[in-house]
Chain A
Amino acid sequence: MSLTGRIVTVYGNMVTAEVNGSVAQNAVAYCHRSDGVKLMSEIIRIRGNLIDMQVFELTRGLMVGDLVEVTDDLLSVELGPGLIGMVYDGLQNPLVEMAQKVGNFLEPGHYLKALDRNKQWDFTPVAKVGDVLTCAEVLGFVKENIFDHNIMVPFTLRGEWTVKDIAPAGKYTVEQTIATLEKDDETISVNMIQKWPVRMPLGIYKERLLPTTPMVTKQRIIDTFFPVMLGGTYCIPGPFGAGKTVLQSNTSRYADVDLVIIAACGERAGEVVETLREFPHLQDPRTGRTLIERTIIICNTSSMPVAARESSVYTAVTLGEYYRQVGLNVLLLADSTSRWAQALREMSGRLEEIPGEEAFPAYLESSIARFYERGGIVELKNGKKASLTIGGTVSPAGGNFEEPVTQGTIKVVGAFLGLSYARSYARRFPAIDPLESWSKYNGIIDTEKVDWAHDFLKRGKTVNEMMQVVGEEGTSIEDFIVYLKSEFLDNVYLQQNSFDEVDAACPVERQKYLFNMVTDVLAYNFAFVSKADARDTFFTLTEQFRNWNYTPWGSEKLAEIENKVKETLAAKGAAK
């Protein structure tokens, strides 16, 4: 039974209506435009019999007195097989299907089902008649691409349910009943679709664990120096053009996870198009399948309605939690969380709430914290470990990290990969600042060794600053060598050319190998006749290592280059 009311105020994408009856916060409502078009909205404040709604569409044409229909449903997503490979907007409308139905433009008032109702899935039962199960336990599975997609006891069921009936192996659509469950004298039939309200964390498990396994991104500076773990969280703040999106796009291609969810939140449509058009043709080296077969895109770009942008990150994170529930290691990449925060700010302004710093609402920080808290690694009821890792970019005004969104994020994430304007200006990509960034996690290489290498970067910077003042002449050769070593480490290890086929992704084994080679150079006791000699030698070494980086793993050329490196070193070694 739905309730109706009448609009009393329209102001931007905020509409206030008068209703009589009980309504729930975050319930979905529809504003009926006089030409019959229904605009989806969400209740975000209730004052007596007035409800304030954020409308997920252009409110153009709405009038005082127009009908509002309030539903019992909270803003929710559909969960089930068939989500992978899809492109959804922030409300989970499939965009490709939308274009087929509605045309070039996102006309208001069109909503489509997220899951294909006609597709047949090969179902294999696991549970048996008589089994007693609780929510999120496995009834059976279907094959979705390479994954066993578990079909589970509905997440909303409380208590113990007995399997009364389970479908035999065979082909079923998502809407067909695959099991009947009973408890006391209640009986329900279950199909493959679940619904879950996006603003509620979805996590049904035995235990939440501490992240301990590195999530390999194949970006050396991350995996070695500022690692991220499966089930961990990290952020990438940086000024415009510093390389946030390119870094995330590389991560979405190469990260060692089962599934990547890309949330393009308030950024350029063109960047989504790139993913959309390329991923179906790019191979996932882990599986040999295409990348799109392990990707879901949630896309609410900057010119799409701002309220849907706000909800899009929740849509994305809920899908992530769902596939964790299924048993996968999921990575959610949100670009950019600042646009989401701005959407919050716009709505807060319309609600005339008391503003905090830079007009962001006072609850900004807690909202950020709640979002990242939804990540994590867990032990599911069946004993399997599964994880949701969350990485978000931050776009601070003026590139200055002293602003509310960056500061609110730093507090809650496990790794901080700060991009610097200076590094991107100098084309040192990925432009992660090695002296500002940090990670609370352990990576693929022994921490002590990493710290030792990292120390060169700090010392090199000090020498460089000194050299700006006293010139090269006034610098001792020992200091000068430290500086050259730090530049060497930067050039051949931290920097990575994402346009080179080989260098773009550096697997663990190769990283470890290269790290040892690099530390050999860092530890080497050089004897140079002059600074020019030192500079020249490091120039040669850098060239040799770069060539090494561009040479495929397993190629015989690698050993050749390594021999040349040995020769270079031998020619410049200090007597023992």
Chain B
Amino acid sequence: MNKYYTKIDNLAGNVATLKAKGVGYDELAVVEGKWGKSLAQVIRVNGDSATIQIFAGTRGVSTGDKVTFLGSSMRFSFSEDLFGRVFSGSGEARDGRGELTDNLVEVGGPAVNPAIRLMPNRMIPTNIPMIDVFNTLVEGQKLPIFSIPGEPYNELLARIALQAEADVIILGGMGLKYDEYLFFKNKLEQGGAMDHSIMFIHTASDPVVECLQTPDIALTVAEQFALEGKKVLCLLTDMTNFANALKEISITMEQIPSNRGYPGDLYSQLASRYEKAVVFEDGGSITLIAVTTMPGDDVTHPVPDNTGYITEGQFYLKGGVIDPFGSLSRLKQQVNGKTRDDHRAIMDGCIQLYSKCRETREKRAMGFEMSEWDNKLLSYGDDFEKKIMSFSNNVGLFDALDSCWKLLSDHFEPRETGIRSNLCEKYWKKEQA
């Protein structure tokens, strides 16, 4: 028998206070009233009163509503039955199929012991040259896509998901527009990936507290699969909405904000989610790719800023392409030494030349005279953008490396590239007769 109460003392924001005994911190409750039923979570116990956060918000909640405490913190059913299913941010079925109640696992449990983690060391191919060649994605990595609103970040996410050869794909959507949700659903279905995908979707019209639960449930499920030895790819979009939900709730809780209204624990909150990315000894792993939209294209905004301090690099999406300068995969060194002997040299060489091309463009814009070398750089740069940077290129790593050599051969002499001569001898594309 669960304890229940029928008198709420205070209601404000998403938070209710009531007299209750024997209630544990973090315990789950159900609030039932005229307008329906919602889950709630204990966020403070003090003397004989408990403060609960109501997932669906307090709109229409009456002081006489029934509050039942469930005797445990949040749990979620875990099994292979999850495949192909769609849930809400708080884990309720969203696809009209039944709720799952078997094999409940604790949501948001303790952290993995660092001592049992393995070093990530396997490349994840994406067939996107800007990733595979220049900022290789690594299994077990946590990496955000920094993006101005309006960039094709969800397309990029979906493309990586379908290409990545993961055993399990888990999508956590936060504050998604309904058509974005449909976009993902269609993509996964068309790509034939739905049978190993699970979606947790909080849409912009859903209660804000549920936005906070979304990554936790998604990552809890991801962790369970990883413990079973599965390679899990977890996609979270958009983490800025998650951070904004944190902000909204901490302000209603009258916490003192630290920076532009965000709570002082924003870093820890984001980190405890991102740090779920892991490689276990028996082969299971979680790779975490998230979207962080940057208000006003400002990297120093608290959300991208704190994220950058947590993740292992970032893909910077700008003007419809992955910007080679702002982007960085910090784990690429773990893998790009053992793909092909020219990988690192091409990675450095092509980008250095492209960066020189950008400088030259600036000089040109300021009206300085262009030398022959400048003109070489300019035509190389244009070609590089078209043939390598553009998302329309969908090729494997080796083909992409070959394309890079072709590009260099078209525009330069070997010694102008700064690439070691033995590699040039091996890969330089001699003029076709």
Contacts and interface: CB of A to CB of B under 8 A. Distances in A.
B62 interface: no
B110 A106 contact: yes
A63 B267 contact: no
A72 B22 CA distance: 29
Nearest to B23: A63
Contact of A106 (B111, B256, B265): B111
Contacts of B302: 397-398
Contact of B265 (A239, A277, A304, A306): A306
A165 to B, nearest CB: 40
Given A268-B312, A471-B368, A99 B113 contact: yes
B333 A104 contact: no
B264 A346 contact: yes
A499 interface: yes
B112 A64 contact: no
B280 interface: yes
Contacts of B35: none
A240 B309 contact: yes
Interface residues of A, number: 61
Interface stretch (A40-48, A53-61, A366-374): A53-61
Interface string B79-117: 000000000000000000000000000000111111111
A107 B272 contact: no
B264 A10 contact: no
A277 B118 CA distance: 8
A60 B25 contact: yes
Contact of A302 (B27, B45, B47, B271): B271
Interface string A422-443: 0001000000000000000000
A53 B299 CA distance: 37
Interface in B315-366: 325, 328, 330-331, 333, 366
Given A63-B24, A342-B267, A397-B305, A104 B259 contact: no
B432 interface: no
A63 B22 CA distance: 6
A342 B48 contact: no
A38 to B, nearest CB: 15
Contact of A273 (B43, B117, B265, B308): B117
Contacts of A301: 111, 114, 275
Given A61-B27, A301-B275, A342-B264, A105 B115 contact: no
Contacts of A59: 25-26
A4 interface: no
B119 interface: yes
B255 interface: yes
19 contacts: A11-B45, A34-B24, A63-B23, A64-B21, A65-B22, A96-B115, A105-B110, A269-B114, A270-B140, A274-B119, A301-B111, A342-B265, A342-B267, A346-B268, A358-B258, A397-B259, A397-B305, A399-B305, A425-B325
A272 to B, nearest CB: 5
Nearest to A240: B308
Interface string B36-55: 00000001111110000000
B268 A342 contact: yes
Contacts of A34: 24
A95 B113 contact: yes
A382 interface: no
A107 B110 contact: yes
B375 interface: no
A397 B276 CA distance: 23
Q: Which of B27, B259, B267 neighbours the largest number of chain A CB atoms within 10 Å of its CB?
A: B267
A105 B112 contact: yes
Contact of B267 (A102, A105, A241, A302): A302
A400 interface: yes
Contacts of B275: 268-269, 301-303
A273 B256 contact: no
B130 to A, nearest CB: 17
Contacts of A302: 267-268, 271-272, 275, 310
Nearest to A472: B368
A339 interface: yes
Nearest to B306: A397
Interface string A341-369: 01001100100000100111000000000
Contacts of A91: none
B58 interface: no
Given A274-B119, A303-B271, 20 more contacts: A10-B44, A10-B46, A60-B73, A64-B23, A64-B48, A103-B113, A105-B111, A108-B110, A240-B309, A241-B328, A241-B330, A270-B331, A273-B118, A277-B118, A277-B119, A301-B114, A303-B272, A346-B265, A355-B256, A397-B305
B46 A106 contact: no
A239 B276 CA distance: 23
Given A9-B44, A400-B300, A99 B116 contact: yes
B207 interface: no
A11 B113 contact: no
Interface in B213-260: 227, 255-259
A445 interface: no
A467 B9 CA distance: 70
A300 to B, nearest CB: 9
Interface of A: 8-11, 34, 58-65, 87, 95-96, 98-99, 102-108, 239-241, 266, 268-270, 272-274, 276-277, 299, 301-304, 306, 339, 342, 345-346, 349, 355, 358-360, 395, 397-400, 425, 471-472, 499
Interface string B269-308: 0011001100010000000000000000000101001101
A269 B112 contact: yes
Contacts of B276: 303
The 9 closest A-B pairs by CB, nearest first: A398-B300, A302-B271, A303-B275, A240-B308, A60-B26, A95-B115, A359-B258, A303-B111, A10-B25
A99 B46 CA distance: 35
B113 A106 contact: yes
Contacts of A274: 119
A425 B327 CA distance: 10
A304 B271 CA distance: 10
Contacts of B330: 241
Given A95-B114, A342-B264, A61 B47 contact: no
A277 B331 CA distance: 15
Nearest to A309: B268
Given A61-B26, A108-B110, A268-B312, A11 B268 contact: no
Given A9-B46, A10-B45, A64-B47, A276 B26 contact: no
Contacts of B120: 270
B313 interface: yes
Given A106-B110, A276-B115, A306-B265, A270 B45 contact: no
Contact of B268 (A62, A103, A306): A306
Contacts of B227: 104
B26 A272 contact: no
Contacts of B255: 349
Nearest to A60: B26
Nearest to A246: B330
Contacts of B111: 105-106, 269, 301, 303-304
A422 B70 CA distance: 54
Nearest to B277: A270
B25 A105 contact: no
A398 B328 CA distance: 18
A356 B363 CA distance: 47
A96 B308 CA distance: 29
A425 B308 CA distance: 14
Contacts of B140: 270
B259 A268 contact: no
A82 to B, nearest CB: 17
A62 B259 contact: no
Contacts of B114: 87, 95, 269, 272-273, 276, 299, 301
B116 A241 contact: no
Nearest to B116: A99
